[in-house]
Structure 1
Amino acid sequence: MFVIPRKGKQYTWEVLLLHRVTSFPSQTMSLPSRMTGHSIVFRHHTFGLQTAGNQKTQITENLARLQRAFARKWEFIFMQAEAQVKIDRKKDKTERKILDSQERAFWDVHRPVPGCVNTTEMDIRKCRRMKNPQKVKKSVYGVTEESQPQSPVHLPSQPVRKTTKEDFRKQITFLNMQIERHCLKMSKVAESLIAYTEQYVEYDPFITPAEPSNPWISDDAALWDIEMSKEPSQQRVKRWGFSMDEVLKDPVGRDQFLRFLESEFSSENLRFWLAVQDLKKRPLQDVTTRVEEIWQEFLAPGAQSAINLDSHSYEKTSQNVKDPGRYTYEDAQEHIYKLMKSDSYARFLRSNAYQDLLLAKKKPENEQGRRTSLEKFTRSMGKSLASKRLTGLMQSS
């Protein structure tokens, strides 16, 4: 142990681990592996004649162990410590007291003196032993200790509870649930989002200007005329090819799809799907009557427009009809939707009727209607300007 006499007092050197950048050590470090990034700082602590003997003994043992571990680098460590002490002497008294109290608090928590009561309610090392009972405990200085003393509060960890059959059952259930989850890679999700954005970019008015222009910000009402007309535009027909939902959302698309199904004598599927959609919007007092009507028309034995359902969906729907509600035909509707999507919708996209609508050019009457609306706007503006000029001339005269 180094003892330096100074003005009638004795100073003992205690080894502390401090980060070179921060002013306060945030965690314990393995010294041999991080010697380049950290410095060992010797901090002097004044002990009067009343200092307890066990503290001196502990400091002496720790210092001797460090001297043996770092015998080759001890001179370099000592030089660094002297430089740090010189820097600390230049600081004012208040700052030195704050740093000293921080260092004492750090070591009281992470390495309390044997035989002393821990300063915290729950010891940090005890918490670590409870969380990681199999983990090997290391010394604060990164050196294996010959004998690690334990304070009275540092009791040995509790024995690990053996895994029971119930624990294994819970783990198996959890793993089965994880297997059944539909997980997608982030790359696949990004690709699908990019493809969706590129597909709908020409229908987004914030990115692509609408043709014709928005009637809410311009005086062109051609857009409303096109929407009201039964002749769809080429862009509108192209959107039907994205998915079956686009066809069912568009009133004109539904009519065209229904005509195609009537030509193939399978329109009852779409009519059943539309009837169930209408049932979900009906008032509650009309639900029971409407459920019975749909059953008699599409599902009852000898129905006029019987639909093709599998046995499972038919049995479940038969049970639901006994307690009618808005979602009585949910399973049957889903089955018919999948049937139309896999069979009828694909044939509709390949049909001549859809191809003719897709390749058709824009109707000339739309252009004529646009010119007419522009002419009306020009005439109205001309009349308003002329009336303003006349009133101005009359006032001046």
Structure 2
Amino acid sequence: MPSLIVEPPLNTQHFIMDRDDRKRNKNIGKNFMCRLQCMFSHSSSSESRLSLEDTQQWSQSLERLLESKYGLATFRNFLKSEYSDENIEFWLTCEDYKKIKSSFRMSSRAKKIYEQFIKAESPKEINIDYHTREQIKRNVKTPTMHCFDDAQKIVYGLMERDSYPRFLRSDIYRTLLENLAADATKG
């Protein structure tokens, strides 16, 4: 005798919540798009407006995402929402650190970076191995522009393998794409 499979009745409240969630996500995406564009409206660069094509290109690589001011801002916002923004903050801080020319400023800044990101139990401690942490501890005593390179490579790899794929699957990115696609079809 074949078994009878009884499916539960369609829960209309669940359907309504899904529709409401989609509507809410669309509004969140629109609001976020507006905030992004307002943040950079004073900029005179060629990337003055957030476009669907640029946003789609963020999915090609983490490097592509970070090269875009809107991509970087969106990625940072996503990481903050997950309480995991220490990696991008460290990576960006290292990029700025490499631009320092003064050895006095470099020394001062290296110590601050160490205290903020490298030292065990620091406020924004990054996830690096003991060997790298100890090497940086020694490097900071006589800092060069490359004293954080190993840690920066590790952090970039972590973001590329972990945070970046989650970002591409996130509501914030998908909603942003959907809103830009809808705007593009409107004309």
Give the alignment's TM-score, normalised by structure 2.
0.69
Matched ranges for 1:234-249 at <5 A = 234-249=52-67
CA root-mean-square deviation: 2.1
Percentage of matched positions with identical amino acids? 35
Offset at residue 315 of structure 1 (A): 2.0
Checking the alignment, whether the CA contact within 8 Å between 1:297 and 1:306 is kept in structure 2 is yes
The equivalent residue for 1:278 is 96
Checking the alignment, whether the CA contact within 8 Å between 1:226 and 1:233 is kept in structure 2 is no
Offset at residue 283 of structure 1 (A): 2.1
Q: Quick one: which amino acid aligns to residue 66 of structure 2?
A: L
CA separation of 1:313 and 1:226: change in aligned 2, threshold 3 A: same
Distance 1:256 1:308 in 2: 22
Distance 1:315 1:290 in 2: 18
User: 3-state DSSP class of the match of 1:228?
Assistant: coil
Matched ranges for 1:175-254 at <5 A = 227-229=47-49, 232-254=50-72
CA separation of 1:319 and 1:347: change in aligned 2, threshold 3 A: same
Matched ranges for 1:138-157 at <5 A = none
* Equivalent residue for 2:172, pick from 353, 356, 370: 353
* Equivalent residue for 2:117, pick from 280, 286, 298: 298
Checking the alignment, whether the CA contact within 8 Å between 2:114 and 2:137 is kept in structure 1 is no
Offset at residue 359 of structure 1 (A): 2.2
Checking the alignment, whether the CA contact within 8 Å between 1:233 and 1:362 is kept in structure 2 is no
* Equivalent residue for 1:327, pick from 143, 146, 169: 146
Distance 1:320 1:308 in 2: 18
Checking the alignment, whether the CA contact within 8 Å between 1:297 and 1:304 is kept in structure 2 is yes
Give the alignment's TM-score, normalised by structure 1.
0.34
Distance 2:53 2:182 in 1: 9
Checking the alignment, whether the CA contact within 8 Å between 2:115 and 2:122 is kept in structure 1 is yes
Distance 1:282 1:363 in 2: 42
Offset at residue 362 of structure 1 (A): 6.3
The equivalent residue for 1:342 is 161
Checking the alignment, whether the CA contact within 8 Å between 1:234 and 1:362 is kept in structure 2 is no
Offset at residue 228 of structure 1 (A): 2.3
Offset at residue 247 of structure 1 (A): 0.8
Distance 1:225 1:323 in 2: 38
The alignment status of 1:288 with 2:112, answered yes or no, reads no
1:92-143 C-alpha deviation (Å, 9 max, x unpaired)? xxxxxxxxxxxxxxxxxxxxxxxxxxxxxxxxxxxxxxxxxxxxxxxxxxxx
User: 3-state DSSP class of the match of 1:282?
Assistant: coil
The alignment status of 1:267 with 2:85, answered yes or no, reads yes
The structure with more strand, counted as a fraction of residues: 1
User: 3-state DSSP class of the match of 2:47?
Assistant: helix
Offset at residue 237 of structure 1 (A): 0.5
Matched ranges for 1:77-116 at <5 A = none
Q: Quick one: which amino acid aligns to residue 139 of structure 2?
A: N
Offset at residue 312 of structure 1 (A): 2.2
Moved over 4 A (4+): none
CA separation of 1:226 and 1:326: change in aligned 2, threshold 3 A: closer
CA separation of 1:259 and 1:227: change in aligned 2, threshold 3 A: same
Offset at residue 302 of structure 1 (A): 3.3
The alignment status of 1:313 with 2:132, answered yes or no, reads yes
The structure with more helix, counted as a fraction of residues: 2
Q: Any unmatched runs of 5+ in structure 2?
A: 1-43
Aligned length: 141
